[in-house]
Structure 1
Amino acid sequence: MTAKRKRFIAGATCPVCHSADTLAVWREDNSYRVACVKCGYTQGQDDDMISAKRPDKENIIGIFHPE
């Protein structure tokens, strides 16, 4: 397994210790992992997140396309 670059999630709050700006995300084994660098909390991507559907196009106001 190769080490992947961890990226911090700006403004995110840890659900366990409630510290802000301490969550890091990285990709591992074709799924995303999140960890708090302060308390050690970790969470993996579950099947519900992978199979989540996008909302109906009728309910979307607009899609942002950065140039």
Structure 2
Amino acid sequence: MSEKTRKRFIAGATCPKCKATDTLMLYMQNNLEHVECVQCGHKQSQPDDKVNAVTRSNESVIGVFKP
């Protein structure tokens, strides 16, 4: 049985891509915070604090492999 994802809209937020207001929804998936615009489909993800703590300042994280 799959777990339902609770999605919440962010009041007053503006999409960085299409500049629409009040179209961003926030939800958790696989312990990561995701934001998605319902108008243009733009998506952003927030890496967890463990990834940010290990990342060096002059490098970018492409992804985290969890076996």
TM-score in terms of structure 1 length: 0.66
Question: What aligned pairs does 1:1-67 form with structure 2 within 5 A after superposition?
Answer: 1-47=2-48, 50=49, 51=52
Q: Superposition RMSD on alpha carbons, in Å?
A: 1.6
Letter in 1 for 2:5: K
Stretches of 4+ aligned residues off by more than 4 angstroms: none
Q: What number of residue pairs does the alignment pair up? A: 50
Task: Quote the sequence identity (%).
Answer: 50
Higher Cα Rg, which structure = 1
Name stretches of at least 5 consecutive residues in structure 1 with no aligned partner: 53-67
TM-score in terms of structure 2 length: 0.66
